Amino acid sequence: MIDNLPPLRQILDDHDLQARKSMGQNFLLDLNLTAKIARQAGDLADCDVLEIGPGPGGLTRGLLAEGARHVLAIEKDRRCLPALSQIADAYPGRLTVIDGDALEINPLAHLTPPIRVAANLPYNIGTELLVRWLTPPDWPPFWQSLTLMFQREVAERIVAKPGSKAYGRLALLAQWRADARIVMNLPPEAFTPPPKVSSAVVHLTALPKPKFEADAAVLSRVVATAFNQRRKMLRSALKGIAPDIEDRLLAAGIKPTERAEQVPLEAFCALAREVAK
């Protein structure tokens, strides 16, 4: 028992919360598991935690039981609100629920640093939210860490290393200014209803500054162009970036005959610097 609230199955029954596919709803009902996920987020005692999609509140309860100073939860499905206010009553002053769409709401006005993000994300908006969190106008970002559930295949793209099929834009974006690792794997049966695929929790820690110097917009353009035609040699995939791209590749220490998939982050950053010259 992590708290004195009713078990999650009872909460689903009491509030008639049938999971809806259109809302990306696959609930975690095992509170020991949600507490374990909350522990992956690090020391929560002095932090505000932003949670997207609390649903019936399994992870929310985990975060609160693990000592989060304050949880701000944004939930789009109004059917979940009564269950969440029951949790807010059990943890006075420590849970605020915003009724709305996480893609539309700027949560910063409601959060006090240091801030961590933890969520069992709805799969349909997970990557979009991650990309937004990784590309703020200024760095360091508002968050210290992100602890996020993804489909296993997306989690692998976030932590991928050069030479693997999963390596691409998402890996470079995530690893340029953050440390990213998979901290838990979950089979479909961990969820109600079980999704078709396995899931994994990724933990990202924001670095104070990028691992290698580069202009964010130039790096993003170079990487996107290179991976748009990932099977082509870079000298032809990147032709549109600069007429003398072959010289710039060589100046960055990259063989013009290499393919994007082989090029490590450090070399992409060197190329972005050459292109920006």
Judged by the rule CB under 6 A, the positions of this chain that interact with ligand SAM are: 23-28, 52-55, 58-59, 74-77, 80, 101-103, 120, 122, 125
Judged by CB, which is closer to ligand SAM: 28, or 214?
Answer: 28
Judged by CB, which is closer to ligand SAM: 122, or 141?
Answer: 122
CB 19 to ligand SAM: min, Å: 8
Judged by CB, which is closer to ligand SAM: 76, or 116?
Answer: 76
Whether the upstream peptide bond of residue 193 has omega within 30° of 0, thus cis, is: yes
- Burial of 62 from C-beta contacts in 10 A (0-12 / 13-18 / 19+): buried
Judged by CB, which is closer to ligand SAM: 98, or 218?
Answer: 98
CB 82 to ligand SAM: min, Å: 14
* Distance of alpha carbon 182 from alpha carbon 204, whole angstroms: 9
> Could you tell me the CA-to-CA distances from 244 to 135, 215, 220, 239 in Å, in that order?
29, 19, 19, 8
Taking CB atoms, the residue at the shortest distance from ligand SAM is 53
CB 241 to ligand SAM: min, Å: 35
Tell me if 41 sits within 8 A of 49, measured CB to CB. Answer: yes
CB 265 to ligand SAM: min, Å: 30
Judged by CB, which is closer to ligand SAM: 87, or 267?
Answer: 87
CB 255 to ligand SAM: min, Å: 43
Judged by CB, which is closer to ligand SAM: 55, or 168?
Answer: 55
CB 152 to ligand SAM: min, Å: 14
